[in-house]
């Protein structure tokens, strides 16, 4: 992130925060964090959720902590930016998908300065009951 970069802070109740919270991949990460393991980042693959894959790639875990009411909170950050996907780097004979073509158009706009990068902050909160269910 740069000082000039604009960003969006989501509510813990936002659709995107809830989608992350309810994903099995994130629940596994929460289990590790709750038990004291250090996890600095994660990414969502298309197999986890097509929506999360399209939205979040290299997500940084800014903070994780137990709350006073015995719940758990995790704060994530992601920068919306695009990297070119080259057809010659794919498996032999594989063509670019529609999503990859869209990505590459966004990459070109980004390189031309017409599409600005921005960050998102996503707080994810678990109640005592929710965290106990995950830890079982």
Per-residue pLDDT tens digits for 4-39? 788 999 999 999 899 889 988 889 999 999 999 999
Mark the ranges of the chain whose per-residue pLDDT is less than 70. Answer: 1-2, 45-55
Q: Are 94 and 70 in contact (CB under 8 A)?
A: no
- The residue with tokens 């959720």 is 49
Q: Are 82 and 110 in contact (CB under 8 A)?
A: yes
Q: Are 32 and 134 in contact (CB under 8 A)?
A: no
Helix (H, G, I), strand (E, B) or coil at 58: coil
- The residue with tokens 């109740």 is 13
Report yes or no on whether pTM surpasses 0.85. no
Strand partners, 6: 118
Q: Are 49 and 22 in contact (CB under 8 A)?
A: no
Residue 131 CA: distances (Å) to CA of 9, 75, 79, 97: 23, 15, 27, 38
Q: What average pLDDT is seen over the chain?
A: 86
DSSP conformation class of 95: P
- The residue with tokens 């659709």 is 15
pLDDT score for 47: 53
Helix (H, G, I), strand (E, B) or coil at 125: strand
CA–CA dist 98, 46 (Å, integer) = 14
End-to-end CA distance of the chain: 37
Domain ranges of the chain: 6-83+117-128
Neighbours of 128 (CB within 10 A): 13
pLDDT score for 81: 84
């Amino acid at each position: 992130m740069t000082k000039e970069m604009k960003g969006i802070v989501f509510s813990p109740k936002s659709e995107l925060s809830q989608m992350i919270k309810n994903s099995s991949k994130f629940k596994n990460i929460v289990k590790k964090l709750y038990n004291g393991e250090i996890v600095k980042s994660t990414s969502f693959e298309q197999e986890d959720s097509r929506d999360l894959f399209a939205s979040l790639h290299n997500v940084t875990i800014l903070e994780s902590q137990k709350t006073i009411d015995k719940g758990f909170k995790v704060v994530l950050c992601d920068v919306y930016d695009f990297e070119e996907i080259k057809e010659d780097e794919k498996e032999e004979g594989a063509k670019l998908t529609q999503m990859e073509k869209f990505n590459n158009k966004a990459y070109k706009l980004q390189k031309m300065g017409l599409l600005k990068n921005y960050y998102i902050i996503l707080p994810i909160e678990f109640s005592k009951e929710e965290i106990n269910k995950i830890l079982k």
